[in-house]
Amino acid sequence: MAAFQLSAQGIRDSIFHINGVEVTAIPLFEKEYAGMKMTRVDTAYLEGKATLSLSDLLSEHTSVFIKNYGRGALATASFRGSAPSHTQVLWNGIQLNSPMAGMVDFSLIPVYLIDQLTLFHGPSSLDNGGGGIGGAIHIQNAAHWEGPPSVRYIQGIGSYSTFDEFLQLGVGSGKWRVQTRLYHNYSKNDFTYVNTGIGNLDPVTGKISHPLEINENAAYRRYGVLQEIYYRPRANQVFSFKYWGQFADRSIPRPTSYEGPDHSNLNNQQDMDHRVVADWHHYGESGKWMARTGYARKNLDYNQQNLVPGLGLIPVVASRSIQQALYHTLAYTYNPASGFSVKGKMDVTLHDVSSQDSVSLTGYDQHRYEVAMLLSARKNLADRVNLNVMLRQDWIDGQRAPFSPYLGFDIKLIDGKELLLKGNLARNYHHPSLNDLYWQPGGNPGLVPEQGFTMETGLEYRVVLAGQLIRTEMTAYRSDIRHWIIWIPGFRGYWEPRNIERVRSTGLEYALHIQGHIGGFGYKLMGTYAYTRSVNYGDPLVWGDHSYGKQLVYIPLHSGNLMVRVSFREWYVTYQYNAYSERYTTTSNDLSGRYRLSPYFMNNLTAGWSIHLKRVDVNTELRVYNLFNESYHSILHRPMPGRNYSLVLMIKI
Amino acid sequence: MTRNVLIFVLVIQLIPCCMRENDPVGPEGPGDSLSRGVFIVNEGNFTFENASLTYYDIESGEATQDVFFSANGLPLGDVAVSMTIRDSLGYVVLNNSGKIYVLHTGSFALKGKITGLTSPRHVHFISDTKAYVTDLYARSIAVVNPLTMEVTGNIDVSNNQDEFGQHSTEQMIAYGGYVYTNCWSYDNQVLVIDSGTDRVVDSIEVIKQPNSMVMDRNHSLWVLSDGGWMGSPYGYETPGLVRVDAASAEVETILRFAEGDRPTSLRINETSDTIYFINRHVYRMSVDPVGEPVIFISSPYEEGFWGGFYGLQVDPVTSEVYVTDAIDFSQPGVVYRVAPDGQPLDTIRAGIVPGALCFTP
């Protein structure tokens, strides 16, 4: 059954033998993915990281840079040096990007909900949607057809009153599978830190000291449910239905320099999400149908309140927004002969947004109607070359968006070896978000789409060498993005978005994966390195504008991570390292220490014990985050916790 | 295996693991030198806590960046909106930090702080022991004692309206025993406060959103309003300049701008007979006798495109004009220094979003 599911997705596994241990992996040379740079995150790795947020996983494991506003707080992604709205995120085929702001808060996505995670770097995202100038991240859920009813429970207890509970149940027969996941995460998040934003003056010596403070107003709570129902009436047909509901409640800390009244400047954000998606797959002899329909609704409430004596807590911001979307997709893939396939796909999406602030009485009600057509052809030549052509055309509210073509290739350099030369040439675009167009005041309906022209090439290699599985990939890319949108105060006194910058993003991505056994020890090493030069080449505004030719803010030139895991019998130790070079917070790349974030080096260590008792797997882990108890910032003046611990118990029946 | 463990340990040793955040540079200040200077108050970005002070020596033309941080090893805070000097002490209002830092204007050393303020905007001294602090959200003006640096009371400015007109108090100007304060945000009032009793005794209706005001040599109060923004639920009014007789609190004259203009930063010269303001360009206008506004400094930006000029101040001794340009609001801005006859004198690099300017006596 597993083989069916995999072949049904058009992917046939390769099997490797490493010192007698069988390892399955997806083949590299597939015409459907020719020229596409993808990172598939290992399923076992995902399971082990179930208690994390997707933001943590991406920064630990991939070349995506995560801008993190604090523990449990907003986390946005920069893929290949692009803006947060340039990363498209799909959950089982439906978009998670907010139509209002265009971006995704990755801290709100628990890894626990993810069965398959795939990153599509740069224009390879065009296969599943436009707008991913930086790339796309796909989150998939899958039926675990095999096996009897299953139960999985995870309990995490961590520093700062952090509690994570996850329960997963699965039942099914040969035709049905019903899977339910429930979860709850809470953290008081009250770590202590030296607050360098406040200076206390000693009245005698005149010396200034910084107080040791508790990270106040930073608690977060998140709970939700994921319900999946799969029905397979015949071997060549699958229906699925998935519902994901989540509520998140977060307080947002005040500036560290805040010394106003205790009950003022209180900020809170609540996100309530409901997402439903149903799809149907039919696998014919020479073709494959897929139909999908989905609905999403998000209620986002943001409040800022001050205590006014005699009047109580008075809101100064009381923003309520309701974002709804309907998604429909129909796709057909035709395989007239082996070595050739064509695919046609149509998406129709309707977004409806109502955003109102009951204090300023501002807001907007808007909807957007999107139609997208994709036509692709994939050809294998002589079992050595794969070609992939994709032509994408979107219409937004009836207006034709920029045409997005893609041409990609894979060349098997040595017959019989998994050594590929890959490359692609593509154009992509990103439409302004509804806030960009309609925010009050400032929204600019005259904005044009951001357009990216990208080329990339790389080498990918996989080999079993001396009993070790080695996979490595290096990619170089260049992306020119015109009409890049930035918000800036306009002549009328409020912030307005403008298509002003031209950004050229050039970079290098390297990934290495080695696993094997030495004696009784098993080991795994995974690392990525990215060189990202994302530079503004927009017209300088005045002579004093020093932003021309400078790296975009908060994008590190060098970033990398490394994970080493060593296991012996039922014991294992995992060391996780993550580093970024300095990041600028000014568009002029001001070097003064106050406007620059120092290089970031983070070390985490996990020790675990895993046993198999009859039908029960028990796994206990102790995790140490920020091993060297470093004091650091990820965003200017946003405190981050020192060394902290988490104890995780996982039970699987 | 030992060898592998060793390699593992070595690999870990090789990669850098210690973060080092930045230390201050060390104190430096004008000391007791006799040359005059101006503090450029760099507002910084809201919630970024990157406000700073630039000190510019008027005689030598030398600018020193980030003097508060250098002297104290302490960031200034979040959104520095104004600065007032009394004797040798400077009072820097940090709006989103809810406090005022008090520093020595010679050494830039921190001398104290006034905390517990909701959303402070400006400081105005009534006496050595009493000052008022206006506030955007508190619905009151804080009364503070500058000697003890404590809040001693509040002047209630709240009304019972639900939505707009909540009297977000801004600048203050004294006349006789009264203090006039303009209520800028979604409001159209100038409140009159009896500085003996610390109570609101009168109010004057002006054009919507009065953002700044000055008093001329005839004790007329000139109030500049931007009129709000078109489409605002509070309503929009053509922006204008209102002249109020300070003694009678009566509106005398109303001058209107063109619809869609957004005039800000009303300032007056040393002899209190010529006003300056920003309306894309910097304008100058005689108020005694009342003349026509003329462009004094042209904006280097495209029409209607950029915020361009952001803050304006006139040297109270020389009547030289300083206008700030925040560029893209995400890099150190510049300040243009211009002689009263319009001759450019200097261009000064400042910090992030230079806004207010405060001259040493």
Decide if B196 touches A, using CB distance below 8 A: no
Identify which of B139, B135, B91, B90 has the alpha carbon closest to the alpha carbon of residue B117. Answer: B135
The conformational region for residue A63 under phi > 0 = left, psi -120 to 50 = alpha, else beta, is: alpha
Instruction: Output DSSP code: residue A33.
Output: G
CA-nearest residue to B308 within chain A is: A491
Are A633 and A134 a contacting pair, CB within 8 Å? no
Residue A3: its pLDDT value, please?
A: 33
* A38: pLDDT strictly greater than 60: yes
> Which of A492, A541, A586 comes nearest B229 by C-beta?
A492
Model confidence over A430-478: pLDDT tens digits? 999 999 999 888 889 999 999 999 999 999 999 998 889 999 999 999 9
Any domain includes A262: no
pLDDT of residue B214 exceeding 90: yes
Kindly give the pairing relationship between strand A87-91 and strand A135-140. parallel
Question: Residue B11 pLDDT more than 70?
Answer: no
Domain boundaries, position A474: 2-189+219-252+275-283+294-307+319-410+418-652
In a domain, A288, yes or no: no
A208–B304 CB contact, under 8 Å: no
Domain membership flag for residue A200: no
- Candidate from B75, B111, B325 with C-beta closest to A257: B75
On whether residue A332 sits in a domain, the answer given is yes
Which 3 state secondary structure label does DSSP give A316? strand
pLDDT band at B6 (very low <50, low <70, confident <90, very high): very low
CA-wise closest residue to A229 among A239, A220, A215: A239
* Number of structural domains in chain A: 1
Residue A323 phi, psi (nearest 5): -115, 125
Beta-ladder partners of A238: A281
Structure letter (DSSP) for residue B229: -
Q: Are B332 and A494 an interchain contact pair (Cβ–Cβ within 8 Å)?
A: no
Tokens 């044009």 sit at which residue? A448
Q: Do B17 and A601 touch (CB under 8 A)?
A: yes
Tell me the CA distances in angstroms from A434 to A331, A444, B84, B305, one per residue in order.
28, 10, 42, 21
**Residue partners of A20: CB distance under 8 A and separation at least 6:** none
Nearest to B269 by CA among B177, B353, B341: B341
Structure confidence at residue B23 (pLDDT): 53
- Identify the band that residue A10 occupies on the pLDDT scale cut at 50, 70 and 90: very low
Give pLDDT tens digits for A315-331: 989 999 999 999 999 99
Q: Is there a contact between B77 and A543 if contact means CB atoms under 8 Å apart?
A: no
How many other CB atoms are there within 10 angstroms of residue B259's CB atom? 11
How many other C-beta atoms lie within 10 A of the C-beta of residue A171? 13
**pLDDT reading at B26 higher than 60:** no
A208 belongs to a structural domain: no
Q: Is residue A195 part of a domain?
A: no
For an interface test with A, which of B65, B225, B331 has the most A Cβ atoms less than 10 Å from its Cβ? B331
Q: Which is higher by pLDDT, A442 or B242? A: B242
* Cis, bond preceding B289 (omega within 30 deg of 0): yes
pLDDT of residue A491: 63
CA B224, B228, B230, B236 dihedral sign is: negative
In angstroms, what CA-CA distances link B108 with A609, B54, B166? 57, 11, 36
pLDDT at B32: 60
Q: Beta strands B240-245 and B281-286: pairing type?
A: unpaired
Cβ-defined contact of B77 to A197 (cutoff 8 Å): yes
Instruction: List the single residue in B69, B229, B308 with the smallest CB-CB distance to A441.
Output: B229
**From edge to edge, which strands make up the β-sheet containing B178-183?**
B169-175, B178-183, B189-194, B199-205
pLDDT of A518 higher than 60: yes
* Average pLDDT score over residue span A490-501: 76
Q: Would strands B199-205 and B210-215 be described as parallel, antiparallel, or unpaired?
A: unpaired
- Cβ-count burial of B87 within 10 angstroms (0-12 exposed, 13-18 middle, 19+ buried)? exposed
Complex ipTM over 0.90: yes
Asked if residue A314 is part of any domain, the answer here is no
Q: Report yes or no: B239 at the A interface, CB cutoff 8 Å.
A: no
Q: Which residue of A has its CA nearest to B155?
A: A309
Is A268 part of any domain?
Answer: no
**What percent of chain A is predicted at pLDDT more than 70?**
95
CATH of residue A449's domain is 2.40.170.20
Residue numbers in B near A637 (CB within 8 A): 48-50, 75
Cβ separation A632–B4 shorter than 8 A: no
| Residues A130-186: tens digit of each pLDDT | 899 999 999 999 998 877 789 999 999 999 999 999 999 999 888 999 999 999 999
Contact B19, A601 (CB under 8 A): yes
Interatomic CA distance for residues A126 and B301, integer angstroms: 38
Six token digits for residue A204 = 């005698």
Average pLDDT, chain B: 90
CA-based nearest residue to A631, from A648, A644, A619, A612 = A644
- Whether a cis peptide bond, with omega within 30° of 0, leads into A445 is no
Token pair, residue B82, equals: 């104004």
Best of A193, A259, A306, A572 to disrupt the B interface (most B CBs within 10 Å) is A259
Does the pLDDT of residue B25 top 70, yes or no? no
Helices (H), A391-547: 434-438
Give the tens place of pLDDT for each residue, B260-308.
888 999 999 999 999 999 998 999 999 989 999 999 999 888 765 556 7
What is the model's pLDDT at position B220? 96
Q: What is the pLDDT of residue A8?
A: 37
The yes-or-no verdict on residue B5 having pLDDT over 50 is no
* Amino acid type, A331: A
What pLDDT score was predicted for residue A144? 86
Tokens in use for A71? Answer: 């523990």
Q: Is the pLDDT assigned to residue B8 strictly greater than 50? A: no
B352 and B331 Cβ atoms separated by less than 8 Å: yes
The one-letter amino acid code at A623 reads R
Summarised one tens digit per residue, pLDDT across range B321-360 is 999 999 888 899 999 999 999 999 999 999 999 999 999 9
Residue A161: how many other CB atoms lie within 10 Å: 12
- Name the token pair of A187: 């953290």
B21 pLDDT more than 80: no
Q: What is the pLDDT of residue B34?
A: 65
Judge whether B91 is closer than 8 Å to chain A, CB to CB: no
Mean pLDDT on A404-432: 95
Q: What is the pLDDT of residues A235-256, one digit of tens each?
A: 899 999 999 999 999 999 999 9
Residue B137 near chain A (CB below 8 Å): yes
